[in-house]
Chains A and B, each alone.
Chain A
Amino acid sequence: MAETTHTTPNKSARTASAQRLGFVAGLRENWLYWLILVILVLFPFIIGWLSGDSPFGAPRGDRMVMRGESVYAQSILINIFALAVLVMSYNLMFGFTGVISFGHALFFGLGGYLMGIILEFGGMDPNLGLLVSLVVVLAVTGVLGFIVGLVSLRLRGIYFAIFTLAIAEMGWLFFRGLEITNGEDGLNIASMPEWIDPARNRILVYYVGLALFVLTFVLIRRLVNSPVGSVFQAIRENEERAQVLGYNTLRYKLFSITVAGMLAGLAGMLLAIMNKEARPEILNVSVTVDALLMTIIGGVGTFTGPVIGASGLHLLDTFLREAVITIGPLTIDIGERWTLILGFIFVLVVLIFPYGVVGTWKRLQMRFRRNK
């Protein structure tokens, strides 16, 4: 029996061998992604080691205070994770399916507000409240995405964009005037489960954010590389051609906008957890415009472009917003002119990288391979 197994491996052995080979090939093909993942997993500890600060914060009595370089760096990355999930979700809809919406902030804002309302007014144990929030956010953003899509996707191009803008603005006005969430001041979320409270346990919020970021990236990559993803891309290129191949394009666009809405809701939840508040600004059209700019700067219809766009602009925002440059007698307060500088960066990127950073890089690679 043993000899037989050695000379002609049985089916399960062959399958295991093929799986091992597939795993190795997958590792080789995606080595850069794996490397980045390892760095991100170790990031709090790397910064802690470099700076000498603990990634868990500074001890004060019997508890930890969230201070030190590592904790600060974790905050920046949690914000980047939330933004990147938002921008990746926008890219699924805009970059891969060709649906341009100005109402994406509605889903992002709802994620934060719904969680805040459930945790603050639900009267539940915070852990149960968080679980209920997760379910409610996914259900509400999914259903809302479906309904908004169903009503508005029958409109074409700019009319669709204007309709989604109007819906999102209604959401913004609604929460700005809502008394129980303190209107313009926003809702403070104090009833947070201790394990995910960024004021007590930043490193766990970091790993929750990282998990959401990685899962979103993998989900979008698998979806776009599936037959459904090919139909998304066909719709983006020419919807009529997809229709005459027998595809009900409305159904596919609805699917795309629903998934994108749910992911944006989760991104909003993460940001609200990190900031321990939900403010009306997260529903503002500027959130959607930022997501659009980050998608374009990173590379429309690419997997890594939105991540590069979101992290690049957030890092610039974080480090340049407070910067003051002095050249001789001239002192420039960058923070005061930040919007102007952002506009300049956008113009520059569009001129130098017409397909976004990743899109242009990919095209250059293709041209290089063709000329070789």
Chain B
Amino acid sequence: MTTNTDKLLDVRDIHTFIGQFHILEGVSVSVPRGAITVLLGRNGAGKTTTLRSIMGLNQVTQGDITYMNDSLVGKSAHKIAQMGIGYVPEHRAIFKELSVRENLQIAARQKGDLENNLDFVFELFPDLKRLIDLPGGNLSGGQQQMLAIARALVPDNSLLLIDEPSEGLAPIIIQELISAIRTLAANKTVLLVEQNFRVATLLADYFVIIDDGHSVASGNMSDLHKEHELVQRYLGVA
């Protein structure tokens, strides 16, 4: 798919346990620099666990993950975040009791992070500007998702891991999010988990299919349409 030098993130044959359960039994994902890669698969296939393993939130017992040629395995989540990886967890993981402003401020890692990137954030998500002093918990689902993504844009992250951005949102909001993610991908590399096949098709340049803890297929998103059997077998989409 890509040469080694193009890869910003390289996940090689990782195995992850949650408690006694062997969740990832050999997942490999190459994330090319400057592109959007999507992890596809049915519920429970191991997509979220892959993102969490990259972030150091689940311990990898075998295999390796390299980001800009540095291994991430064994590093704690905060160290991985400081290396320039932004993580937007599923279920709109904002701080509900903090205001929109505080949610953005807390994401700044260095002085000037917020000031330097705030215009871009408001350009991408104009709604947040007028909601700036409201508690995060008072926002609608779509606004919370926008805030969660905006938070990952405040520090200078090179790679964004976004888990299920369209989950539970109205079609019109999904459309706004697709447009925002495409815009931000001009400067960032994105690894996305997305259940909605249509959204994935509109967004991603590359795909990796995960099934039952294994990565089973990968390639260009534009070629996936032709792989009817693959799509039907692993994603259940006709």
Nearest-neighbour CB distance to chain B for A317, whole angstroms, equals 32
Question: What are 28 sample pairs from A and B whose C-beta atoms fall under 8 A apart?
Answer: A230-B98, A230-B102, A230-B105, A231-B106, A233-B97, A233-B98, A234-B106, A237-B97, A237-B98, A238-B93, A240-B77, A241-B93, A242-B106, A243-B76, A243-B77, A243-B78, A244-B57, A244-B81, A244-B89, A245-B81, A245-B107, A245-B109, A245-B151, A246-B81, A246-B155, A248-B76, A248-B78, A301-B97
Interface size (A, Cβ < 8 Å)?
A: 19
Nearest-neighbour CB distance to chain B for A301, whole angstroms, equals 8
Give the chain A neighbours of B57 by CB distance below 8 A: 240, 243-244
Instruction: Give the top 7 A-B pairs by smallest Cβ distance, nearest first.
Output: A246-B81, A243-B77, A244-B87, A246-B82, A248-B78, A237-B95, A230-B106
Nearest-neighbour CB distance to chain B for A320, whole angstroms, equals 35
Nearest chain-A residue to B154 (Cβ)? A245
- Assuming A245-B106, A301-B97, what are 11 further A-B pairs, CB within 8 angstroms? A233-B97, A234-B106, A237-B98, A238-B93, A240-B57, A240-B77, A243-B77, A243-B81, A244-B55, A245-B81, A246-B78
- A249 interface hit (Cβ, 8 Å): yes
Nearest chain-B residue to A370 (Cβ)? B138
- A227 interface hit (Cβ, 8 Å): yes
- A247 interface hit (Cβ, 8 Å): yes
Nearest-neighbour CB distance to chain B for A285, whole angstroms, equals 30
- B182 interface hit (Cβ, 8 Å): no
Answer whether A234 and B89 are a contact pair too, CB < 8 Å, given A240-B57, A245-B106, A245-B107.
no
Complex Cα distance, B238 from A162, in Å, reads 54
Give the chain A neighbours of B76 by CB distance below 8 A: 243, 248
Complex Cα distance, B136 from A238, in Å, reads 14
Contacts of A354-372 to chain B: CB distance below 8 A = 370
- B96 interface hit (Cβ, 8 Å): yes
Nearest-neighbour CB distance to chain B for A366, whole angstroms, equals 8
Give the chain B neighbours of A248 by CB distance below 8 A: 76, 78
Digitize B58-81: 1 where CB-to-A-CB distance is under 8 Å, 0 elsewhere. Answer: 000000000000000000111001
Nearest chain-A residue to B80 (Cβ)? A244
Give the chain B neighbours of A227 by CB distance below 8 A: 105-106
Nearest-neighbour CB distance to chain B for A289, whole angstroms, equals 26
Contacts of B74-123 to chain A: CB distance below 8 A = 76-78, 81-82, 87, 89, 93, 95-98, 102, 105-107, 109
Nearest-neighbour CB distance to chain B for A355, whole angstroms, equals 11
Nearest-neighbour CB distance to chain A for B73, whole angstroms, equals 17
Is there an interface contact between B95 and A238, defined as CB atoms closer than 8 Å? yes
Nearest chain-B residue to A366 (Cβ)? B135
Give the chain B neighbours of A246 by CB distance below 8 A: 78, 81-82, 109, 155
Give the chain A neighbours of B55 by CB distance below 8 A: 244
Is there an interface contact between B78 and A234, defined as CB atoms closer than 8 Å? no
Give the chain B neighbours of A234 by CB distance below 8 A: 95, 98, 106
Contacts of A219-244 to chain B: CB distance below 8 A = 227, 230-231, 233-234, 237-238, 240-244
